[in-house]
Amino acid sequence: MSITVIIPTILRPLTNEQKRIDMEGAKVSEIIDHMEQQYPGIKEKLVAGESAHRFINIYVNDNDIRFQDGLATNLRDGDIVTILPAVAGG
Amino acid sequence: MNKSLNDCTIAGPFQHAAAPFAATVFSLFYQFSTLGLKIASSGDQAADEMFSFAFKTPHTAPVNCVVTGWGGCNHAGMATENMIQAACGLMSVHGRSSGKIQSLGLPYVSTVTAALALQGGIAAALGQLRGLALSHSHVSMSAAALLSAAQYIADATVVTPAENLPPAEARHSTAPPFVSADGVIFEFETLHADPWLRFWMQLGISAALAGKGWTAFLLRYAKAVAPIPGELISALAKLTYLQISELCADSGLSICRVRTIAERVDNEQFKSEWLKGPWTFDFAASCQDMPLKPASDSLPLSGLTVIESCRRIQGPLAGHLLALLGADVIRIEPPGGDPLRGMPPVSQGCSVRFDALNRFKAIREIDIKSSVGQEEITELARHADVFLHNWAPGKAAQLNLDYSDLIRVNPALVYAYAAGWATDGDAHVRSPAMPGTDFMVQAYSGVAQKISQACGTQGGTLFTILDVLGGVIAAQGITAALLNRQLSRAGARVTSSLLSAATVLCSGDFQNRHRFFDIAVPAKSLLNQVFGTKQGKIAIDCYDSDAVQRLIDALSLAMHPKQENFQQRLSEILQSKTAVEWVGILLQADVPAAIVVENLSNLHSDSRLQSNLELGSYTKVTSPWSFQ
């Protein structure tokens, strides 16, 4: 299953400055594991324990994975995974 | 004791300010009264295009503090609160959530300007005591407004491609606050997705839809919009406020009713907090052998060290202002750096919204939860002049980094807490479960209700006005404590909060009810409106009947403003020319008017603003102060 992953600017130093990368995987966690193999160091920026970092948002086709099955969210061929650092104020 | 500067004097024509500066002078009067300054009101008639006052300590020459409408070299031209809100983009940011560009309906820029002007005077006096020959301080209303919008300006002007949260349908009617079946208007707050999801699942909302709502909810702080899906709004409208509150308690979501300002001004506790002022000072014992550090360059706080452990907006802005006054600010971040460094949009490896508030600080990555980290921070504080944090209530004690811990190693320290709710220790913390964030404090304080009344909307603004004012008030309190330290050789704890900043913003309402201070509350503008034109929008701000008459004459209206179709006729006439043409005509006729800036990336084209904007990978807002 081919999935497109959109990388935020802040993480592009880890992906050779690539904004979009194509990955294989049936779940978000698999995509992240495959990314880690190709771009070492990226997983620790995205994942803490069994879930995404509090300050990282991961979307599958514009849907936040926190409101699906988290890192176990299933993917379908052609899905777009967008990674975005959080925004905050207060 | 709350009065930090009661041996100092302030002098000026406070009872005779020109109308455009009346709100600034009123707020200034309130602020310096609560600092304990001796007031010398002169009978001079103040000039129309500026206001000035003198600040003096027993050991320094007077500092002449000048406030103008616009920045730049000649500071020329009429400026009013609403002209500045229009020209500096504040109306545009405020209007994003409602879809209607308009004034905040509060003397917001005037209040920020007053705080910065007083802080400039206090800082310059401190500079004198530290060896500098500073006798003039200047700040403009436009500089104060641009400072308030600095993060939004950074976001709008970054030259790298924008990174945005997934698009959410812009439906202005569904932005918070929310309304229950029994008509109660309220705000929600949570910093985590889990309580949000649990809450909506209880209402039968699908996880996917709750997720769309969360994405919209997150947009509040970054973009000043929050297009919550209509299904969520409809679900709430079927439940009473009590039912919603119970569901919030079960799910961990915080809720706050939008309270009226009358509820606050009539409350004895809030009245006493208003009388006390926005800061709580606790002064340490005087130690006469305290070494006094000379200034290291031309800025008044140069050579002083500030340790800052703050997140988000209010605390970092306070540190930023101290850095702009010359202090060396060391910012403590968690190992790996503050995650908000990655908050989009990013330029040159850092979030521009983050950079806008933190670009002059040195960074130390320390794990504040570890004993080694706490020892490291204590060691930094031992040699620092200021320690500033905005941790949650009670956390400082847990970390062994409370005032009592740090004053032990450094009795000369100014220990500052930029809080959400409390101004005097933990006694008045509303509820640990209610996060002290901008929108919750707007709802609780009466600010949201005042804005809604002025704007015809349901609640406050998604422009983070209290975070900004809270940061300014915190920096002002720290500067006052530093001057007091120089004068009396005593360190201090100074606490301020978003709620105390809201009280400063509403001080006119308290004064109208209690009439405690010897100054009149400025009258509201008689005509304060945004109009469409042939091209662009203009804001007109007629603060008195003479200005309204000049408007009528300039437009050859031949009508009385109380006539039924006056507004309609005015709107029709203004459609006949462009905003640029009208502003030229109206300013020529001495009618306060300004083009409404709808796109913040256009701000730099206004020559009156250029001295406070620095172009680059994004547009930076420069220091609001200049000293001589």
The ipTM value here is 0.90
User: How far does Cα B161 stand from its chain's mean position?
Assistant: 29
**Domain-embedded: residue B73:** yes
CA angle B128, B129, B130 (to 5 degrees): 90
User: Is B144 a member of any domain?
Assistant: yes
B346–A55 C-beta distance less than 8 A: no
Picking from B125-139, B294-308, B338-352, B609-623, which range would have the lowest pLDDT averaged per residue?
B338-352
Domain match, B194 and B108 both? no
A55, A63, A85 ranked by CB distance to B208: nearest:
A63
Q: Which residues of B touch A68 (CB under 8 A)?
A: 207-208, 211
B253 and B266 within one domain: no
Mutation target for B interface from A50, A53, A87: give the one with most B CBs within 10 A.
Answer: A87
Q: Give chain B's domain count.
A: 3
B167 pLDDT more than 70? no
Residues in contact with B78: Cβ distance below 8 Å, sequence separation at least 6, in sequence order? B20, B48, B49, B69, B587, B590, B592
| pTM reported for the whole predicted model | 0.95
Picking from A57, A87, A90, the nearest residue to B438 by CB comes out as A90
B439 part of a folded domain: yes
Same domain for B152 and B63: yes
Write out pLDDT tens, residues B129-154: 999 999 999 999 999 999 999 999 99
* Domain annotation covers residue B607: no
Same-domain check for residues B378 and B488: yes
Determine the distance in angstroms separating the CA of A89 from the nearest CA of chain B, rounded to an integer: 5
Instruction: Let me know if residue B358 belongs to a domain.
Output: yes
Q: Kindly report, residue by residue over B249-259, the tens digit of the pLDDT.
A: 999 999 999 99
Q: Which of B627, B188, B259, B239 is nearest to B434 (CA)?
A: B188
Is the domain of B338 the same as that of B352? yes
- CB within 8 Å of B509: residues ≥ 6 apart: B261, B264, B265, B446, B450
Two tokens at B426?
């933990």
Question: Hey, what are B255's tokens?
Answer: 């809720």
Chain mean position to CA B108:
8
Residue of A55, A57, A64 to mutate when probing chain B, most B C-beta within 10 A:
A64
**Cα gap B538→B591, rounded to integer Å:** 12
Quote the domain boundaries for residue B133.
9-161+262-420+431-505
Task: Tell me: cis bond preceding B177? Omega within 30 of 0 counts.
Answer: yes
C-alpha distances out from residue B272 to B6, B266, B423, B610, Å: 19, 11, 12, 42
Which residue from B167, B210, B345 is facing A67, i.e. has the nearest CB? Answer: B210
CA distance A63 to chain B (A): 7
Residues B554, B409, single domain; the answer is: no
pLDDT for res B435: 87
**Residue B526 CB: number of other CB atoms within 10 A?**
15
The verdict on B85 and B102 lying in the same domain is yes
How does residue B286 score in pLDDT terms, banded at 50, 70 and 90?
A: confident
End-to-end CA distance of chain A: 41
Choose the final residue of a domain: B234, B257, B280.
B257
Strand partners, B594: B539
CATH superfamily of A2-85: Beta-grasp domain (3.10.20.30)
**Residues B217, B359 within the same domain:** no
CA distance B403 to chain A (A): 23
Neighbours of B612 (CB within 10 A): 25
Is B511 within a domain? Answer: no
Both structure tokens of B209: 């839809």
B155 and B283 assigned to the same domain: yes
Q: Are residues B334 and B446 in the same domain?
A: yes
At A38-59, the pLDDT tens digits run 999 999 999 988 889 888 899 9
More confident residue, A24 or B175: A24
Please report residues of B whose CB lies closer than 8 A to that of A8: 163, 342, 344, 346
Give the 3-state secondary structure of B430-474: CCCCCCCCHHHHHHHHCHHHHHHHHHCCCCCCCCCHHHHHHHHHH
Give the Cβ contact number of residue B362 at 10 Å.
10
The total of other beta-carbon atoms located within 10 Å of residue B537's CB is 21
B548 shares a domain with B456: no
The Cα-based distances of B594 to B95, B337, B546, B583, B605 in angstroms read: 16, 42, 18, 6, 14
Written as one letter, the residue type at B44 is: D
Helix (H, G, I), strand (E, B) or coil at B551: helix
Q: What is the DSSP string of B349-416?
A: TEEHHHHHHHTT-EEEE--TTSHHHHHHHHHHHHT-SEEEE-PPTTHHHHTT-SHHHHHHH-TT-EEE
> Are residues B361 and B308 in contact, defined by beta-carbon separation less than 8 angstroms?
yes
For B166-195, what is the mean pLDDT?
A: 80
Does residue B231 fall inside a structural domain?
yes
Task: Return the amino acid letter for A51.
Answer: S
* B222/A68 Cβ within 8 A: no
Task: For residues B239 and B266, state if they share a domain.
Answer: no
Spatial contact of A46 and A73, defined as CB atoms under 8 Å apart: no
SS percent in chain A: helix, strand, coil, step 5: 30, 30, 35
pLDDT tens column, B419-464: 999 765 444 445 556 888 999 999 999 999 999 999 988 889 999 9
pLDDT in tens, B181-228: 999 999 999 988 999 999 999 999 999 999 999 989 988 888 888 889
- Cβ-nearest to A67 among B165, B197, B219: B197
H helix runs in B9-140, sequence order:
22-34, 81-87, 90-95, 108-129
